[in-house]
């Protein structure tokens, strides 16, 4: 096989319209959109004054309230939080759950000093009493008027 180098002069036009660039060379068009860049990885952006620990606690409270049982897995908390914050990293999230669980054997490696959860067993946690969400008082049922 043999290669022969050559060059051909071409002319073209570049049109810029907002965040859209169209390049025309001879009769071929190429369009490029210059919209906001979506970066995967890196830091997630939360509302002002909100931390990952706040997300973890709020999500666990929602799960306990919905299930009406104070028992959940770290995976449940992660997957539910992922619906609101799709850019969450699993490893970072799970390590922060451990950092909120003084009864977990790996808690000693963290300096968060949070005590949201109690460790029940492999992957199982419960919300400590003082962090349970307030419930509306249940109506008393009148047996004579039902």
Q: Which of 19, 114, 124 is nearest to 69 (CA)?
A: 124
Q: How many Å is the maximal CA-CA distance in the chain?
A: 101
Q: What is the pLDDT of residues 84-97, one digit of tens each?
A: 888 889 999 999 99
Please tell me what DSSP assigns to residue 41: S
Evaluate if residue 128 carries a pLDDT over 80: yes
Sign of the torsion formed by the C-alpha atoms of 66, 72, 77 and 78: negative
**Confidence (pTM):** 0.62
Contacts of 11 (CB under 8 A, 6+ apart): 25, 26
| CATH tag, 52-131 | 1.10.10
Q: What is the pLDDT of residues 108-123, one digit of tens each?
A: 999 888 999 999 988 8
What is the band of 142 on the pLDDT scale with cuts at 50, 70, 90? very low
Q: Domain residue spans in the chain?
A: 52-131
Report CA-CA distances (Å) from 65 to 23, 70, 135, 137. 56, 8, 8, 13
């Amino acid at each position: 096989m043999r290669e022969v180098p050559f060059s051909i002069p071409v002319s073209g036009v570049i049109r810029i319209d907002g965040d859209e660039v169209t390049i025309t060379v001879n009769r071929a068009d190429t369009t490029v959109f210059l919209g906001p860049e979506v970066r995967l990885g890196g830091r997630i952006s939360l509302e002002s004054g909100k931390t990952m620990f706040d997300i973890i606690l709020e999500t666990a409270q929602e799960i306990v309230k919905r299930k009406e049982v104070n028992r959940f897995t770290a995976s449940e908390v992660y997957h539910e939080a992922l619906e609101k914050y799709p850019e969450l990293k699993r490893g970072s999230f799970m390590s922060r759950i451990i950092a909120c669980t003084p009864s977990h054997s790996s808690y000693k490696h963290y300096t968060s000093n949070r005590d949201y959860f109690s460790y029940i067993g492999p992957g199982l946690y419960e919300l400590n009493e003082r962090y349970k969400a307030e419930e509306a008082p249940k109506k008393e049922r009148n047996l004579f008027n039902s």
